[in-house]
Amino acid sequence: MQKPTLVISGRLVLKKNVLLAPLAGITDFPFRRTARMCGAELVFTEMISSNGLVFRNKKTLSMVSTLKDEQPVGVQIFGSNPEIMAEAAIICQELGATLIDINMGCPQKKIVKTGAGAALMLDPALAQGIVGQVARKVSVPVTCKIRLGWDSQSINSPSFAKRMEDAGASMITVHGRTRSQMFAGKADWEAIARVKKAVSIPVVANGDIFSAEDAKRCLHITKADGIMVGRAAMGRPWIIGVISDQIDPGKEQNIPNVRERLRIILFHLDAIREFYEQGVALKIARKHLAWYTKGMRNSAAFRDALFRTKNLDELEGLTCSFFKRMLQKRADISS
Ligand SMILES: Cc1cc2nc3c(=O)[nH]c(=O)nc-3n(C[C@H](O)[C@H](O)[C@H](O)COP(=O)(O)O)c2cc1C
């Protein structure tokens, strides 16, 4: 078996072909740092408004303020105006984006009603215009993240992906669901295989990959060049590194044990503390801790206490006590 690598338009050569998906409200700088510390290579920002970037919105700009410190990093932007998208892409490139990804899959009403996200799959000419404009204006690779189509009656991902390739896209990620499905049903990996056959740029398969076994089956069925993992990383930022190692024949398995998980969580908490102001940091830390401990013994009581913590020091103390009790009981976790 060959070592997995991913070459994006000859300009970006990755040693690992397992990517961290963009997840709004989750894959912020502290989370990306943590995933990278655990072995992820290419990570993506959450989707970022092209209008927010171009009109210099303070909160939006803070989302891209760290790019130079985290390489390689893909910045995902959304919008429906080709000029604004191109201008936003230039800003991201200047700030250090390794690649620009264009969101063509977001199903949310407030996004699609502006013609952005998955709505672009209903207007391939506009989508092609956006990719063309952006690719002409930046020197880093431009990639697209799409769904299978708008609904089961209008599955157009193979021809759509080809049009994006023709417009200058260097890679296509396909979430194997339609917009109408949102997150329901199962991701259709066979449909992703049809996209792979339609283009000659790399295709990354996405949807319902929760383990190395899923990853291997998905790569086998889709023949994709890589995979992207989203929800499985919530509370498990190590999953990208773990899957990368497990599908690489030369590597050992390395699922972190309780002690290692605590170390990862403390790293993540420090990163949150450094990046956000106190009040915001506490809210974000609570959310991640609830995911980190999901399914662990006595985690419901832990979560009750978690949401009553008043500051990060208190939250950190509570977390350490919880994990130390786990260690004393020699409890271990398997996934
Ligand atoms: C909470 C959440 C936020 C998401 N945010 C984004 C986003 O900002 N951009 C994007 O392209 N997809 C986003 N997605 C979709 C994921 O990137 C991914 O395509 C989807 O979850 C399927 O992959 P999975 O089964 O590995 O989770 C989001 C999904 C979730 C659950």
Q: Is the pLDDT score of 316 beyond 60? A: yes
Catalytic residue flag (residue 218): no
CA of 318 to the centre of ligand 1 (A): 30
| Positions of E strands within the chain | 6-8, 12-14, 18-20, 43-44, 48-49, 73-78, 99-104, 142-146, 171-175, 203-206, 226-229
Distance of CA 138 to the CA centre of its chain: 22
Q: What is the CATH number of domain 258-328?
A: 1.10.1200
CA of 263 to the centre of ligand 1 (A): 26
Q: Among 18, 20, 23, 108, which residue has the most ligand 1 atoms within 8 Å of its CB, making it the best to mutate?
A: 23
> 10 or 230: whose pLDDT is higher?
230
**Average pLDDT across the chain, whole number:** 95
Predicted local confidence at residue 335, as pLDDT: 47
Task: Give the pLDDT band of residue 331 (cuts 50, 70, 90).
Answer: low
Ligand 1 within 6 A of 241 CB?
no
Q: What is the CATH number of domain 6-246?
A: 3.20.20.70
CA of 187 to the centre of ligand 1 (A): 12
Q: Where are the domains of the chain?
A: 6-246, 258-328
Q: Residues 13-57: pLDDT tens digits?
A: 999 999 999 999 999 999 999 999 999 999 999 999 999 999 999
Distance in angstroms (rounded) separating the CA atoms of residues 33 and 95:
17
Overall average pLDDT of the 318-332 stretch: 85
Q: Is the pLDDT score of 162 beyond 80? A: yes
Ligand 1 within 6 A of 206 CB?
yes
Angle between helices 299-306 and 312-328 (to 10 degrees): 170
Residue 32, C-beta contacts closer than 8 angstroms, at least 6 positions apart: 20, 40, 43, 45, 70, 73
Ligand 1 within 6 A of 76 CB?
yes
